[in-house]
Structure 1
């Protein structure tokens, strides 16, 4: 069971087999899986026929360069590959050669001319492939054998009719919308209808192979066709959307989204077998959804419906991820490289994704020749040694054959594979665009040709697979069905998208502020704290960790005092695991922590084995901590974690940035998923983000988590007190106990909200920033405001409000300056904004006539612009700003200037005149 926490050990890219032992140790062993060895008799025949074998290998390697895969080529492919000339290998056309063990054409021998004709059909006509770059001999052998076999296979009449029906429906749907909804951008599938052959074939193969679910990420083009044609999406719902009607009933707090982002989560009956398809919501930021789909797929593999880690099967066995790409977006969007880079990494493997490139040969209006530097848009696949099948999209049957090969490859090797389906766009970027402005030659060809479905139906009629009357009836019946749904639009009421399956019992948050008891018993705190640093007897721990981490924590746990940040975090993790919630923390070096404080995983200094103490809390443990040290990526990794969080509410998913500033590499995920997913799509997520923050002289890129950006992304109101129904929480806890409660609160509520934690750096080891058991036991909870207990309220005439690490600097300055008339209170939660708590705290200071907001960040950053209107409109107090002046960068990079500013921001608040 536990190997699921490490990923797929079958990936031949991994030089080491990753295992997870039942005692909680992540281990590394040499990969025992060997490639299939080519039989000796075959090797002998190849040696005897070395020149012929060289010719065959040349076709396997180079034939794709001359293949007829472009359905709308306006320049003739004049490339000549000398490697493909038989005379180069000493052959004349009629020479007889032995085929056995070299090509699979059904014959033992024959002429070189016959062999070349067979090789052209297999590798260089309407379908071709790049696979000789694969690092595994077994994969190369398998691929060549399968391509040669399938080149002379034919589809059954039943399969042809099934595929024909789907491509014809796709065309009719586009024509129906063009007629009924003129002037609407629908991003239709015209020119790319053969993608329906891919989906039809893939769904058929999946159901017959016993797959349970396909998690599908797809951009705009052809999406509506797939939804209505194959994914049971009601046309009346789509037509209502086209008329501007809302997505959800009024009772839901939602903005909705554009038509081209619609989804379907549906069960298909394929050959009396059930197959679930989840087409995910996608933003218009191309390719961003791919990482989300990967994370959701991993969650499916790891978790049962109850949320517990499952021991059944392996990665890619029951759940498969499909990613559909546009050609220009695949080559141009960096998240694709990031997604491929994590696809084989421990804790991110999902058993291989199937990639379909809908190759329109245009990016917006830019032709392929100007849109990339590589020969193919799919060349990115080679960075992970993934094979690519190129196919001419004018031929749906060839697309179906490519799909079969791709499906079989993923099932056998559990690796990514790409299908590059070369096609075209009947119109421009959208149906209202004139593409001839920029691509006149291409569209002269497109405008003169018959459509893909029309050509294919002509072929099927000619083969007597179907009659013209049957084709006409299909069109008539389908249009009648669409018209019946169009007539029903006037009476359409949006469906109630209630929380179902693993989300049963959850809801949207209401406009109230609720305090959740997140404390646990002292005995449990002590037990978890002790277990968090307990390791096997013969485990060779680093001597520094034994003294300064293990022994130090045991002392704190025994005394129940001076609980530091890492210990409180371990107690939060352990208590959630104890209650049956899974915990996953992901990011760069999160196992030890950027600041070497966490050490949630211990590394044996002699064997390099890894041990995670919290995964051995008790014998019957069914929830686990996954420590996912990620690659050096932000966007793909955060998208991945978001996908895991929306799949199952029983997963506490945490992403930690190495420094808070580095989140900006994932800004698209924050903007289009995390902050807006619930209001657009009613997707709930409890994803927790840890962003280390604090000005300590490290310069512009290592100081600020840019609090202001996250506060600008919230829907917190300036004219009414905030409730729990804000789109996401932004908090800056100043004590380990506060952090402990925040983490536990994420899982104990009956709703899920993203949490941005403005996390500490220096506070991780600051003796003043520690907690005791009394702050974490039953009856305690997160406090959005922490008052001043060092100053008598009646003596106070000035109140400073601050947050985080800055509070401790101010307190130290207050003591050094011997200030007696100033209180300092801590704002721990920015959003939701704690109006009532602030009012209650400030009411203590009857004589105070000055209220100051003090922050480390420059005036144009930090919480100031967010806080000021709320403080004055909601709390009812005028507040002044004291801090750094405006800056274009988050911090200065000159040490002397930093020291001057640091001194100013902690002394000036005490000297401000009324």
Structure 2
């Protein structure tokens, strides 16, 4: 006999041992090794011998309940005594005598189904003779039960009874099961909670309840003091054919488990019972037992206590007290009547006293009404991200109408608070590593509402489509709408139509009412995860900035783009940073896998040159998105640098340009999709700038959809250091954009908000934000260890399964798919990737090296940009054409009339008119023109007046936008007070609309450094990095006129320092005709290059800058302008080279002095016109002295740039001298007096002998 396997240890399960022993004798191989070992030396004790027929008598339901005999009132230990089981060869067990109700006919335990009741005839019938029943022996299970019952009679027991209100038990169980159900997990039962409360009560309050009475070998009494609680669980088993059995497996060391562990162990035992896989150890060692006949309606139970246990707890049914069971439930709700559950503690009175049993039940009572943190611990253990419902006394006043009205008012407040703040208790963080909290404003107790109000009806104002509802149902609707895995912020929106739209799409909408293609969703998750796992396996440690932890972003994008295709949108443009970019390229844009793998393999394109290109996670692509319906749509992922969020305005400008080319106008049929990181969205100011421009006329795109991949960290910086707001998305509230927070580990919720975001954008043409809260599985890059700074977070991440695996589990649990189907889909995708990789490696040519870059072309050949006189006249005529009822400002009208008179009398064209002629002629020829900037409609210096405002009603009129017969279009806009986002937008516009003239104008050139990132990362480098041509024009007012250090310099030196490989053009024209030709050349030239123009301020109205109209009809832009006043070049002894306004200062000074000096203007600084300068110098044969004159300090302006380029002239016999202001950290003085003094010094030094 195995000492560890005493048959008496099995207690109530002994019958099962007997049954399995019979199987062991007949067919030992049918049992497990453990059971065979157990039965190898087994000796039946007190059991009848097996029936020779081999039949087993199984107990019916009454027999099973007889195992735990119930007293009539459940208050004592009254037992029916049965005779002992005989051990003779033919054992006979007499039926027990019970006090049973009188019945009209005998009932046999194995009686056949009753025949139909005969028709009553009211005629006396002769009574049937007494039925003689032959007794039959109890065998197997029944015999063991009888033996155990007799043994239990020797245990002196007593029973304590306590009735416990079940209100909080019901409510918290409902909350838990709601959460678990939404996550595809099994429900918990009342027995789970009560059983765990019993364990807690024994451990915390009455540890003696787990001890057991025994006797030593001499029969002397003793006590076994157990260290742990080993709970026997009475499990009813349906064995078919109307037969049932009861087994009591043991849940060991229950006191060492939290509730989640208790639940898992409990359910594991139940699974073993159902699968008939219990082993010998599963039945041993119980020191307490739990039975729950309440599941079949028993109100109160006093079960038998088996030998070897200290206590057995009986659980009755959960129901209203008997006196209320016929009442209307609504009335019960008003009265605050709770359901109750009766608990009994039947204990061994030899070692446990009545006070201890009473204290035990009292403590269980306290736990079940939420004291001692019971439900909080349960919630925390299960990972339920909500606070548990608390027990509070009812405050209902049945006879007070004022109290009812007050509660009704509080209900209205509670509804609004959930709409405003419900997101604060939503289950948004997949890591659950921060403890949930209940904000005071969301706690019904704050408004005098308790758990007792849950069943009372109130007016709801139509929430969820109903006008009256119980508080419980109302809270269910509100929390399903705003507090699950989606949290919505929208009540900051002032438009009530938008608020109502969101309420209609959330309140009362069940999760299963939202149609989701689960197969498509899983396929996209498979693709997202497989791509990252493939790269991490094949290219270990290589930087790729993977999407792991945020894979649900791919289904979100897929859903939005599918909806866009179905809506017949023209296209979509995506902007995003490096995180997940390769995944988007592969699984959204549709870039070929081998093209991506080439980047990892180090493949060098034979056509590439040294110094060109960019890292793989900055690359853009243009593709074709194919929807589920088979429809196709243009899609573009814009290239971007590592400077986070800089791509946002570029995308918006690209989209606006595409929309401006689509009819009808303002149809918004191109969708901007901006993907952000959480730290960048909160931290980068360009985000706020882009939001600020989102609904302005010059920048409106019909709403962008923002997706924040909120991995709750920025490189190594935690959110509390990265922002001052609750969410990273709070900045979007400034433009009243709705914000959908969603748990990234709930892909179905992610797809749902994707659809809602798209529908909102289409309905209201506004920005909308999806804040997908997720995590970053690895460091900032694949070589970084984030546990240095976030050890707890990354411990939680390490224990977290991927969203794909979690979703597969959910689908399998719901029966939507099988595991095999999910794995097959994943394998198919990985096989595709492997095939593409093999193709890539097969064609990689390691010997290819990049060629050296070609030499710069320099100054391009001249393009004839003159315009016929009749075209110019048509434009001039249009400039003073207004609607008949339009009244021009009287002061402005006089200025316009003076301009017309000047042209008519002298034929001179000033700067603003020259610009208008360039724009008007281009529009007539079919080229569109867009001009935007701060105050650009009027012009910073009141020179342009491209938009006229009616003096009486402020109606606007743009003359050049209405030229008769013009095929091009002209747009002019005042921008928001921004340089960064505004310049980025125009860059994107020019990128997408390369046939148009796109101009961005700074208010003053000094302010352009606010857009330095766009200049450095896009304007001057995009062609080199991404082969991206762009023809954007920048107008930067520049000139030293005594206006101080912030209104003088556009920092010419910085632009010249960025010049290389013909990447940009830098020009400083000095006449209106030059400006006219320069603008037209930008449209006519074949190779697009950004154009930086340093535009004038004072010269806008100077006579010297005007040009005769004849210069507009012929010619082209001249990179260098010779001194037209020099009639006798042989007499010139000194040539002054200069650029911009200072040339006119020099001309005035030269003429005043009568000096024989030539003033040569360099109109284009880059590409530098060296050959043109040499040709002009050749005209002045006797001039051997060169002076470079500039108004900027020596360390600024073109001085050092031109030095290297004109220095070679010294070899031809020229002396070279530089005249500048003195070196300075500040561009200019703030004193007009000092400014004038500095200018005098420049002139004196320039013309000194």
The TM-score with structure 2 as length reference comes to: 0.65
Q: CA deviation at 1:148?
A: 2.0
Contact 1:330-1:378 at 8 Å conserved across structures: yes
2:626 aligned residue: 269
Counterparts of 1:178 and 1:154 in 2: how far apart (Å)?
A: 38
2:903 aligned residue: 557
Counterparts of 1:684 and 1:241 in 2: how far apart (Å)?
A: 22
**Residue 419 of structure 2 corresponds to residue 60 of structure 1:** yes
Q: CA deviation at 1:625?
A: 1.5
Question: Which among 1033, 1047, 1052 is matched to residue 688 of structure 1?
Answer: 1033
Aligned length: 831
Alignment gaps of 5+ in structure 1: 1-45, 305-309, 495-507, 717-725
Q: CA deviation at 1:591?
A: 0.8
Q: CA distance change for structure 1 residues 547 and 701 in 2, over 3 Å: closer, same or farther? A: same
Counterparts of 1:493 and 1:516 in 2: how far apart (Å)?
A: 44
Counterparts of 1:854 and 1:176 in 2: how far apart (Å)?
A: 62
Counterparts of 2:655 and 2:1211 in 1: how far apart (Å)?
A: 49
Question: Which among 724, 735, 747 is matched to residue 1071 of structure 2?
Answer: 735
Counterparts of 1:268 and 1:874 in 2: how far apart (Å)?
A: 58
1:748 aligned residue: 1084
2:930 aligned residue: 584
1:870 aligned residue: 1205
2:808 aligned residue: 457
Q: CA distance change for structure 1 residues 852 and 633 in 2, over 3 Å: closer, same or farther? A: same
Aligned-partner SS, 1:193:
coil
**Residue 738 of structure 2 corresponds to residue 387 of structure 1:** yes
**Residue 888 of structure 2 corresponds to residue 541 of structure 1:** yes
Counterparts of 1:766 and 1:294 in 2: how far apart (Å)?
A: 39
Contact 2:460-2:469 at 8 Å conserved across structures: no
Counterparts of 1:223 and 1:76 in 2: how far apart (Å)?
A: 33
Question: Which among 972, 986, 996 is matched to residue 627 of structure 1?
Answer: 972
Q: CA deviation at 1:86?
A: 6.0
Correspondences of 1:299-448 after superposition (within 5 Å): 299-304=657-662, 310=663, 312=664, 314-316=666-668, 318-448=669-799
1:15 aligned residue: none
2:1138 aligned residue: 802
Contact 1:63-1:84 at 8 Å conserved across structures: no
1:593 aligned residue: 939
Q: CA distance change for structure 1 residues 906 and 137 in 2, over 3 Å: closer, same or farther? A: same
Aligned-partner SS, 1:217:
strand
2:617 aligned residue: 260
Q: CA deviation at 1:64?
A: 1.0
Aligned-partner SS, 1:399:
helix
Aligned-partner SS, 1:908:
helix
Q: CA deviation at 1:123?
A: 0.6
**Residue 1150 of structure 2 corresponds to residue 814 of structure 1:** yes
Cα distance per residue 1:9-61 (max 9 Å; x no partner): xxxxxxxxxxxxxxxxxxxxxxxxxxxxxxxxxxxxx9996543332222111
321-330 or 521-530: bigger deviation: 521-530
**Residue 1117 of structure 2 corresponds to residue 782 of structure 1:** yes
Counterparts of 1:314 and 1:813 in 2: how far apart (Å)?
A: 55
Aligned-partner SS, 2:914:
helix
1:760 aligned residue: 1096
Q: CA deviation at 1:241?
A: 1.3
Aligned-partner SS, 2:725:
coil
Counterparts of 1:49 and 1:553 in 2: how far apart (Å)?
A: 72
Question: Which among 1228, 1237, 1241 is matched to residue 900 of structure 1?
Answer: 1237
2:349 aligned residue: none
Counterparts of 2:1164 and 2:1099 in 1: how far apart (Å)?
A: 17
Cα distance per residue 1:661-694 (max 9 Å; x no partner): 1000111110111111111112111110000000
Correspondences of 1:627-776 after superposition (within 5 Å): 627-716=972-1061, 726-776=1062-1112
Counterparts of 2:885 and 2:1160 in 1: how far apart (Å)?
A: 49
Aligned-partner SS, 1:590:
coil
Q: CA deviation at 1:84?
A: 3.6
Question: Which among 488, 497, 508 is matched to residue 839 of structure 2?
Answer: 488
Q: CA distance change for structure 1 residues 285 and 900 in 2, over 3 Å: closer, same or farther? A: same
Contact 2:460-2:474 at 8 Å conserved across structures: no
Correspondences of 1:24-43 after superposition (within 5 Å): none
Contact 1:410-1:417 at 8 Å conserved across structures: yes
Counterparts of 2:526 and 2:462 in 1: how far apart (Å)?
A: 40
Structure 1 or 2, whichever has the larger Rg, is 2
Contact 1:254-1:682 at 8 Å conserved across structures: no
1:9 aligned residue: none
Counterparts of 1:344 and 1:48 in 2: how far apart (Å)?
A: 42
Q: CA deviation at 1:491?
A: 5.7
Cα distance per residue 1:827-858 (max 9 Å; x no partner): 00011111221111011111121111100001
Q: CA deviation at 1:882?
A: 1.0
Q: CA deviation at 1:182?
A: 1.7
Contact 1:529-1:557 at 8 Å conserved across structures: no
Counterparts of 2:858 and 2:817 in 1: how far apart (Å)?
A: 60
1:186 aligned residue: 544
Q: CA distance change for structure 1 residues 151 and 695 in 2, over 3 Å: closer, same or farther? A: farther
**Residue 870 of structure 2 corresponds to residue 523 of structure 1:** yes
286-295 or 676-685: bigger deviation: 676-685
**Residue 966 of structure 2 corresponds to residue 609 of structure 1:** no
Alignment gaps of 5+ in structure 2: 1-404, 846-854
Counterparts of 2:766 and 2:948 in 1: how far apart (Å)?
A: 30
Counterparts of 2:435 and 2:796 in 1: how far apart (Å)?
A: 13
Contact 1:212-1:274 at 8 Å conserved across structures: no
**Residue 575 of structure 2 corresponds to residue 575 of structure 1:** no
Q: CA deviation at 1:471?
A: 2.2
Counterparts of 1:881 and 1:525 in 2: how far apart (Å)?
A: 41
Contact 1:686-1:755 at 8 Å conserved across structures: yes
Cα distance per residue 1:576-627 (max 9 Å; x no partner): 0000111111111101100000001111110100111112221x33322211
Correspondences of 1:91-102 after superposition (within 5 Å): 92-97=452-457, 101-102=461-462
Counterparts of 1:73 and 1:884 in 2: how far apart (Å)?
A: 64
**Residue 1187 of structure 2 corresponds to residue 852 of structure 1:** yes
Q: CA distance change for structure 1 residues 485 and 274 in 2, over 3 Å: closer, same or farther? A: same
Cα distance per residue 1:250-293 (max 9 Å; x no partner): 27897111111122211122112112211111111100100011
Q: CA distance change for structure 1 residues 195 and 175 in 2, over 3 Å: closer, same or farther? A: same
Cα distance per residue 1:449-485 (max 9 Å; x no partner): 1111111122122223222222222222222211222
2:652 aligned residue: 294
Contact 1:883-1:904 at 8 Å conserved across structures: no
1:221 aligned residue: 579
Counterparts of 1:553 and 1:254 in 2: how far apart (Å)?
A: 51
Question: Which among 804, 820, 823 is matched to residue 472 of structure 1?
Answer: 823
Cα distance per residue 1:40-99 (max 9 Å; x no partner): xxxxxx999654333222211121112121112322022433344067165743444366
**Residue 533 of structure 2 corresponds to residue 175 of structure 1:** yes
Counterparts of 1:385 and 1:570 in 2: how far apart (Å)?
A: 38
Q: CA deviation at 1:234?
A: 1.2
The TM-score with structure 1 as length reference comes to: 0.88
Contact 2:407-2:447 at 8 Å conserved across structures: no
2:567 aligned residue: 209
Counterparts of 1:381 and 1:139 in 2: how far apart (Å)?
A: 16
Q: CA distance change for structure 1 residues 434 and 87 in 2, over 3 Å: closer, same or farther? A: closer
Contact 1:509-1:751 at 8 Å conserved across structures: no
Q: What's the C-alpha RMSD, in Å, of the aligned pairs?
A: 2.2
Counterparts of 1:894 and 1:415 in 2: how far apart (Å)?
A: 48
